[in-house]
Each structure stands twice: as C-alpha cells, then as structure tokens.
C-alpha cells in the first residue's frame, strides 16, 4: 500500500513522522520504501529527507529510500528549478506520470511505500502543477497530515483537511509532528481540537510525536512508531 505524507506547512515534522510510520511498518514485518518526489534545499552531496529517515532507523535491510529530483535552492520545487537552471530546468523536471510510475515500481515489491511531499498539500511538485494531493489521487493512497500543536494550527489543519477532501483525497491519519516537553494550555487545548478535527474529516488520530526525536536513538523512534501502528493502512492481503 501507498501512504502519502503531507504537512500543514513546511518544517512541521513530516520527515520525523515518515520515519516513525516507516518504523511502524517495518515492525509489522513490511518491506518498506520511502520516496521523496522533490527534495529541495540540499546540495548534491547533502543528506535529504529520505537519508534522514534511513539514518533515524539505523538503515535496516527492509528499508529502501529514493528521491525523484533534487534541487539545491531551499524553495518550492518548481521555483527551485527556475532559480537553479532557468526555464530549461523547469521543463526538464519530471511530471506527475513519471512519479506515479516510480511509486508503482517501488510498490511492486514492497508492502508499504511512504511518499513525502514538499511543504504542504498544494505545493506544486512538477511543472504540470501536480501536488501531493494529485499523487494521492493517482495512487489511490490515503493521506497522512502532519501538523503543529501551537497557536494557528486549528485553521491550518482545517484548511488542509478541507482542501484534501474537496479534491477527493482519501483520509488517512492526522499526526502532531512535535509535541513540546513542556506543553502550554494552548498546546493542550489544540490537541483536543485537532483530535475532533481528525474525527470530523474521517482521519485516524495518530496523536503527537515527542519533541527531541531528531537526536533520538532508534529505540525512542521505535517507541514513537508503536503509537503510530494503529494509523497505518493495512498491508496488501494483511
């Protein structure tokens, strides 16, 4: 099965959540692939998001990671291509069908494929204007939405879930990417509201990943993953 991962914004913990979802799938015995269609803000030798996932999980045998395109400027993909190489670089970017074929190839011999978008739901990943919502529609995948716990999140989360629903994207899970060690009253109130928002839109509630995962041991990541096992879509035939 394919699961698309988006966020209410950039930097909300999509990659951390993707690592935990991958760990949960590995823990149930799946062969897992993580695919990032467009990685921006990383040079040719740098570590992109899928490399971060592999590192966090200790590079297990049953995990494959792959990137579609990599663009150095830290911008939305199409603008990053424009900045890096002008109109010709934009034209050279692969389109939606190319990504769908890559995902299908990965799904051919893996039980679970996680696809991490760039930024939020409506960021264009390809010159033909495709977004992670289009990848979810093209693959039939449900959507996991990663969100923040702080002020402003209720509006961003509601907007994201509504826009996904309007496009016909299958609801997957709502997960808080990073829960502070010392939550405030705002965080606690938001958590309850986010849970209700998930339920209203048919999303499974994935709870909140603890802050500090970036430097965590594989053990801590596995602990966070256990909490996400319940929101993973079933594996084919499983």
Ligand X SMILES: Nc1ncnc2c1ncn2[C@@H]1O[C@H](COP(=O)(O)OP(=O)(O)OP(=O)(O)O)[C@@H](O)[C@H]1O
Residues of this chain that interact with Mg ion (CB under 5 A) are: 14-15, 49
Q: Look up 36 and say whether it is catalytic.
A: yes
Among Mg ion, ligand X, none, partner that 43 touches (CB below 5 to 8 angstroms by kind): none
Which CB atom, from 25 or from 209, has the smaller least distance to ligand X?
Answer: 209
73 and 40 Cβ atoms separated by less than 8 Å:
yes
Residue that is written with structure tokens 């509504």 in the block: 162
- What is the nearest approach in angstroms of ligand X to the Cβ of residue 119? 5
Among ligand X, Mg ion, none, partner that 138 touches (CB below 5 to 8 angstroms by kind): none
150 and 163 Cβ atoms separated by less than 8 Å:
no
Burial class of residue 29 in the structure, from the number of CB atoms within 10 Å of its CB (0-12 exposed, 13-18 middle, 19+ buried): exposed
Reported as type and span, the H/E element at residue 210 is strand 204-210
Cα angle, residue 35 at apex, residues 100 and 223 outer, rounded to 5°: 135
Residue with the closest Cβ to Mg ion?
A: 15
24 and 228 Cβ atoms separated by less than 8 Å:
yes
d(CA 213, CA 88): 39
Which CB atom, from 8 or from 15, has the smaller least distance to Mg ion?
Answer: 15
Which CB atom, from 135 or from 188, has the smaller least distance to Mg ion?
Answer: 135
- What is the nearest approach in angstroms of ligand X to the Cβ of residue 115? 12
Among Mg ion, ligand X, none, partner that 8 touches (CB below 5 to 8 angstroms by kind): none
Positions touching ligand X (CB under 6 A) are 7, 10-16, 49, 118-119, 177-178, 209-214
- What is the nearest approach in angstroms of ligand X to the Cβ of residue 173? 15
Q: Which of 14, 17, 36, 207 is catalytic?
A: 36
Reported as type and span, the H/E element at residue 34 is strand 32-40
Active-site annotation, residues: 36
């Amino acid at each position: 099965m394919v699961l698309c991962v988006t966020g209410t914004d950039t930097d909300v913990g999509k990659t951390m959540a993707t690592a935990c979802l991958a760990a949960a799938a590995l823990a149930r015995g799946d062969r897992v692939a993580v695919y990032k269609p467009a990685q921006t803000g990383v040079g040719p030798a740098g570590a992109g998001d899928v490399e971060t996932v592999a590192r966090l999980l200790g590079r297990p045998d049953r995990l494959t990671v792959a990137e579609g395109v990599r663009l150095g400027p830290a911008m939305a993909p199409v603008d990053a291509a424009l900045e890096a190489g002008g109109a010709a670089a934009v034209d050279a970017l692969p389109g939606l069908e190319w990504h769908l074929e890559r995902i299908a190839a990965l799904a051919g011999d893996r039980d679970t494929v996680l696809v991490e978008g760039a930024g939020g739901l409506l960021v264009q990943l390809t010159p033909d204007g495709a977004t992670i919502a289009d990848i979810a529609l093209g693959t039939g995948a449900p959507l996991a939405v990663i969100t923040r716990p702080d002020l402003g999140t209720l509006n961003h989360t509601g907007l994201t879930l509504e826009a996904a629903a309007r496009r016909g994207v299958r609801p997957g899970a709502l997960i808080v990417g990073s829960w502070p060690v010392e939550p405030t009253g705002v965080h606690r109130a938001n958590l309850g509201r986010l849970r209700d928002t998930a339920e209203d839109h048919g999303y499974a509630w994935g709870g909140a990943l603890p802050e500090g995962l970036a430097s965590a041991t594989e053990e801590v990541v596995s602990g966070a993953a256990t909490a996400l096992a319940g929101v993973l879509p079933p594996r084919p035939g499983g």
